[in-house]
Amino acid sequence: MQEVGQNLDNGFKVIHNSPNTSSVINAKSISKNGGKCTYRSLVRINENAKSSKSSVSCESLMLDDISVSDTIPTSDIKTDDIEFSHEAKIGKISDKTIFYLMSRGLSEEDAKAMIVRGFAYPISKELPVEYAVEMNNLINMELEGAIG
């Protein structure tokens, strides 16, 4: 999670140089207290990489009105015989979702924490159990008193 004064500038580069290659990229970031996240990417599919596939997904969650997230994708496709998709989502926690969870008995802080953990779940489910537990503990520590 990015906080005030923190600027996370990250990304990736994928180059397809042979036929029938594939890549799947899923990136996620969470910003709070005025943190900034910039995500840069390059997908290059060269002429000899026919029948290649590439899928890119970038999601950013901002926990307040002063945080910032930018996505700067670059695609360099040099053949027509490929499948390529790119999706970017940047958003805030929905007030309607918070209201719904609160109507089911959760406090506002618990509702927001549940949403953040759900946002991070696709990453944590791929980790070994020990790392997933540590990741969830870090999320809980970061959220303690930070949202609300």
Tens digit of each residue's pLDDT (9 = 90 or more) over 30-61: 888 888 999 999 999 999 999 999 999 999 99
CA-nearest of 41, 36, 46 to 26 is: 41
CA-nearest of 75, 78, 62, 67 to 115 is: 62
Q: Are 60 and 27 contacting, i.e. CB atoms less than 8 angstroms apart?
A: no
d(CA 143, CA 138): 9
**pLDDT band of 148, cuts 50, 70, 90:** very low
pLDDT for 9-25, tens place per residue? 999 999 999 999 999 99
Helix (H, G, I), strand (E, B) or coil at 29: strand
Pairing of strands 82-92, 52-62: parallel
Q: Are 112 and 147 contacting, i.e. CB atoms less than 8 angstroms apart?
A: yes
pTM of the shown model = 0.77
Amino acid type, 36: K
d(CA 133, CA 140): 11
- pLDDT for res 1: 60
Averaged pLDDT of the chain: 88
Helix (H, G, I), strand (E, B) or coil at 108: helix
d(CA 98, CA 91): 14
CA dihedral 141, 65, 119, 16 (to 10 degrees): -120
Element (H, E) at 130: helix 129-143
pLDDT for 83-95, tens place per residue? 999 998 888 888 8
